[in-house]
Structures are given as structure tokens and as C-alpha cells.
Amino acid sequence: MGKYEFIKELSNRRKVRFFFTTVLSLFVIGAIGFTFFTLFKEGISQSLSFNFIKDFFNNEIKKLTPLGLFYLSFFGNLMLIPLPIEAPFFLGLMKGNLFLPSLFFVLAGLIPSQAINYIVGKKFSKAFFTLFSTKKIYKAKRWVNKYGSYAIFGFNLLPLPSNEITFGLGIAKYNVTRLFVFTLLGTIIKFFAMWGFYLLFF
């Protein structure tokens, strides 16, 4: 027999308790981190040199070099740091960046960041399942299985927050191969269209 995974639905009281326990835990961790930084910030600032970070930002990020696009793509596609990469990519072309190296570095940043979004969503899927009813969960899963490919392609073809949909598909444990095939397909078509627009009008 195949292996099946059943979701045990919690009572509303336990859901509320779980939610407030999670929020309280995050608040305590944040408070401890803030207190530690406040007490030791002088020592930290004296021991660390920010010249390297400043030079790197000015030479790579600010000038929108292909390496700078890699970092913008990686951090901009993470769940908590949504940053559209389309504008920096296009401005980089206007500054003289070659198309293929720029596209390569954007994809090199996109793939690992989206993988992180998917893994985090998948790891925390049980926590989300405890907060919502099984009826809503299976309804969402049916929608994902039916329209997921179109949503992935559309969110990556258009300048939409694809990191959030990847996180949600991780929660739903969507097929990872299909996810990245349609992610790359939509992204590549989008940047080729931007390149064609640049060649025609600039």
C-alpha cells in the first residue's frame, strides 16, 4: 500500500494558542537579539570594517554589473526581501552590460533564492496546516494542482512577486521539477522580451 499523510485538524482554541505561542516566541527571540546588539554594538562596530561592503556596493551593486545583478537577483527573490530585478536588469543594459552574461547571473541568483523559498515553505507546511481547516487546505491543493503551472509561468513572465507564490507552493508541496521548469521558462521569455524592447528603442 502507498504511504498516505493525514492532517489532524485542531480545535479553534488550540489554533489560537498555537498562533499566540509562535508570535510570542518570535517576539522573545527578537527582543533578545535587539538587547544583545544594543549592549555590544560599539564593540561590534569597532571590530568590523564596513569599507569592503561599501566598496563592493559602489563597484558592483550601484554600477549594476552582472555580478551586482546576481546579488540583487538572489536577495530580491527571497521571501522576506521582495525586490524587482527587471528595472536593474534593463538599466544595466543601458549602461553597456551584455545580455547573455547579465541573464546568466540573474538566473544564477534566482534559482537558489527560489529554492530557499520553496524549502522554507515545505518545512513550515505542517505549522500552516495547524492554523487552517482541512477543507480549506485540500481546496487550495486542488486549485494548485489545476492552475499551478499557469500561475508560476504568469508570475515569472510578468513583474509580479514570484517569491511569494514559490513559498506558497512549498507549503502545498508542489512538484519541484514542474515549479522550476515554468519558473525558468517565464523568466527567460520575460528577459528576452526586455532585450528585444531595448534593441528596438534604445
Asked if residue 83 lies in contact with residue 159, where contact means CB atoms within 8 angstroms, the answer is no
Domain map (residue ranges) of the chain: 51-201
> Cell numbers 546579488 label which residue?
71
Single out the residue of 141, 162, 154 nearest to residue 85, CA to CA. Answer: 162
**pLDDT tens track for 54-86:** 666 777 888 888 889 999 999 888 876 778 899
> For a pLDDT cut of 90, what percent of the chain falls above it?
33
Q: What is the mean pLDDT of the chain?
A: 79
Q: Which pLDDT belongs to residue 129?
A: 66
**pLDDT tens track for 164-174:** 888 888 888 88
> Cell numbers 563597484 label which residue?
59
Q: Which pLDDT belongs to residue 6?
A: 45
Q: Which pLDDT belongs to residue 7?
A: 46
